[in-house]
Amino acid sequence: MLDSHSVLRQIYGTPLGLLTDLYQLTMAHAYWKTGGAESEAVFHLFFRSNPFGGGYAISAGLDQVIDYFNDYQFDAADVAYLSELRGNDDKPLFEPGFLTHLKELQLQCDLDAIPEGTVVFPHQPLLRVRGPLIQCQLLETALLNIINFQTLVATKASRITSVCGDDPVLEFGLRRAQGIDGALSASRAAFIGGCAATSNVLAGKLFGIPVKGTHAHSWVMCFDNEREAFETYADAMPNNCVFLVDTYDTLQGVRHAIDVGQRLKERGHQMVGIRLDSGDLAYLSIEARKLLDEAGFHDAAIVASNDLDEQIIRSLKEQGAQISVWGVGTKLSTAFDQPALGGVYKLSAIKPTGGQWQPKTKLSEQAIKTSTPGILQVRRYFDDQGAQADMIFNELDGASDDCVMIDPLDPTRRKTFASDQKHEDLLTPVFRNGTRVCERISLAKIRTRREQQLQQFHSGIRRHTYPHQYPVGLETKLNELKTNLILQAR
């Protein structure tokens, strides 16, 4: 199954094999030279704590991972570049045979992934990559780059949109995002997280996100007075009038908008609303609403922007602010209060050619950082109330019949599930032997999935202060395997 287009290719116009850390290539070279390259390996991508001190995260980025797999390639120019790199003896870093291997490389990996828009938790694999060791290793950095950022921003957007209820949130982050790709990826992830539209027109074109916009202070400042600015704008753009009213005196600005709105009405158009971008947004929105309603503009929206985030929006709502549309930029697209998710990609099992699977774990002084061995799957159990707990198990063993889940950090904490209890396995096949085996899901469906997913969970996980900790544990045999590997290593 071939994909007709790849957004990554459209943006960068080049294959992205070199979008990796040099050490992936030096390890790949060493595997190739010493015979380990074709051993079968399994890696999992997971994060260790929920971002923003919250109770959940929203998975995002898989569609770009699919693009990345589809486009994975080292072209002639890439190989020529690599051939020029030198080691500390000034000799070529990579042998020509390895560079030929890269040039001819075709991904043979299997990929299983938790679908985008799913509510996810620490320690559960979002991606599982299985295939030749050399290939799994080469994929690490870009997979982390894609999933870490989009999952982070989708989660931030989900927190913001949850506070806004049914009010639309417009993502305005492009101008202050971390570079071009940071902005584009943020627009996509923000939409998954529940934003209604973006101001980023390229993101609109590439991802099919609705685009929306008002006008800037510069428009008002180019005229002798605000009223003339609004009138001229209304003449030119009668079907997109949201007047920015705070350039000089906000409530006077609302009166000017109302006057121009009346003229628009007479000409058969409708003023969409006004935008507030400074001052006390609670007070000004309440006063603006009164003025608009008195003039009969009951449907006119009050858009607010200015360094908004979920805390300020919640506070504004508590103050009775009459804001109906929220423009959120910097704090959303840069994931301002936590700039990285901290997801990792760890080897968990290896099978030398002709040998048996060997589960692997990476020890750490901190128990929470010790990685889980095996070929993992995540099983989400449901009861009448919704999602009850997630159990990670090892597909090499299968889940045990009594389905007991253990908290690896406190083995006295356990949960037992009935063998016929409703459940869903979260990791689903995406690639088999380098070929895509699943349908691509539209961004609109992913966005809806997030909404539906959140309904499956106790509202306590959505709480921003001291959220409920959703139970995630290891199936008994997997916990034993992990404990034994730790004991052996020590």
Ligand X SMILES: Nc1ncnc2c1ncn2[C@@H]1O[C@H](COP(=O)(O)OP(=O)(O)OP(=O)(O)O)[C@@H](O)[C@H]1O
Ligand Y SMILES: O=P(O)(O)OC[C@H]1O[C@H](OP(=O)(O)OP(=O)(O)O)[C@H](O)[C@@H]1O
3-state secondary structure (DSSP) of residue 430: strand
Amino acid at 322: Q
The nearer residue to ligand X, 146 or 190, going by C-beta atoms, is: 190
Stretch that binds ligand X, among 126-134, 183-191, 263-271, 315-323 (CB under 6 A): 315-323
Q: Give the sign of the dihedral formed by CA 50, CA 54, CA 56, CA 57.
A: negative
Using CB under 6 A, which of 138, 154, 234, 308 touches ligand Y?
A: 308
Smallest gap, in angstroms, from Cβ of residue 332 to ligand X? 13
DSSP 11-25: HHSS--TT-S-HHHH
Partner in contact with 199, chosen from ligand X, ligand Y, ligand NIO, none, beta carbon below 5 to 8 Å by kind: ligand NIO
Strand partners, 244: 275
CB 169 within 8 Å of CB 324: no
Binding segment for ligand X (CB under 6 A), chosen from 98-106, 146-154, 309-317, 336-344, is 309-317
Shortest Å, Cβ 198 to ligand Y:
12
328 binds ligand Y (CB under 6 A): yes
Q: Report the residue closest to ligand NIO, judged by CB.
A: 213
Q: How far is the CB of 346 from ligand NIO (least distance, A)?
A: 39
Footprint on residues 231-290 left by ligand X (CB under 6 A): 278-282
Contact 450, 369 (CB under 8 A): no
Q: Which does 328 bind (CB under 5 to 8 A by kind): ligand X, ligand NIO, ligand Y, none?
A: ligand Y
131: left (phi over 0), alpha (psi -120 to 50) or beta: left
Tell me how many degrees the CA angle 147-41-9 measures, rounded to the nearest 5: 40
Q: How many CB atoms are located within 10 Å of the residue 378 CB?
A: 23
The helix-helix angle for 179-192 and 443-455 (nearest 10°) equals 50
Tokens coding 79: 């190989």
Q: Which of ligand X, ligand NIO, ligand Y, none binds 312 (CB below 5-8 Å, type-dependent)? A: ligand X
Residues in contact with ligand NIO by CB under 6 A are 172, 199, 213-214, 275, 305, 327, 329
User: Least separation, in Å, of the C-beta of 417 and ligand X?
Assistant: 45
- Does 315 interact with ligand X (rule: CB under 6 A)? yes
Taking CB under 6 A as the criterion, which residues in 154-213 touch ligand Y?
A: 172, 175-176
Residue nearer to ligand NIO on the CB measure, 127 or 160: 160
* Residue choice 307, 410, 451, 480 for contact with ligand X (CB under 6 A): 307
Nearest approach, Cβ of residue 285 and ligand X (Å) = 9
Query: What tokens appear for 365 in the block?
Result: 């002084």
* H or E stretch at 228: helix 226-236
Name the binder of 243 from ligand NIO, ligand Y, ligand X, none, CB < 5-8 A by kind.
none
Cα separation, 264 vs 239, whole angstroms: 9
- Cα–Cα distance between 52 and 63 in angstroms, integer? 24
